[in-house]
Amino acid sequence: MRYLCIAVVSCLLTSHAQAAIEQQLAHCATIADNASRLQCYDQLAKASEHVAVSATETNANTSPNPALTSKLATVPSLTPPQKTSVKADAVAEFGAPRKEDNQALEQIRYPVTSAQKGLRGGYTVTLANGQVWQQIGSESFRVKQGQTVVIEKAALGSFLMHVDGTNNSIRVKRLQ
């Protein structure tokens, strides 16, 4: 009979603690800031570890300990974490075009010193400035030594090469 009473009391206390944890999980889920939300979940995990340790200690004892029972019944209240300070400059510059990008080169134009066709049909092109560029893909392209090529920035950090005066371009990557 005594064990039955202990089991019933511990079930009631853990269900109360479970309801409190679910409420705090719902609170953490409403926090918009990622870092603050993560911190809220971390605090909740620490609190639930404390509750689990208390529950096992209560079940191990033959008579319930009032101090442990009170700890188990009241899960520590989680306060929303303080927002981390964000630099005002970073906030002001968010989404604005970078100043360095305005001065960066958008394209280069050099004569070809060497153009070698690879085994799979792609070209490896050496420019007069010493840069070596390799064709990515299998598009049809023709370039000869002495022709001037234009290499320009494309989407997602890629580069396009075309012979000066033509519209046919290929995607390339820099080797050297």
Report pLDDT digits (tens) over 58-111.
555 544 555 545 544 554 455 555 555 555 666 556 565 556 554 567 889 999
Instruction: Provide the 10 A C-beta neighbour count for residue 3.
Output: 9
pLDDT at 8: 59
Distance between CA atoms of residues 130 and 145, nearest Å: 14
pLDDT in tens, 21-52: 778 878 888 888 888 888 888 887 877 665 55
Distance between CA atoms of residues 6 and 68, nearest Å: 13
- Segments in 61-131 forming alpha helices (H): 66-73, 88-93, 99-103
Least confident of 2-11, 39-48, 165-174: 2-11
pLDDT at 119: 81
Cβ–Cβ < 8 Å for 48, 67 = no
pLDDT at 102: 47
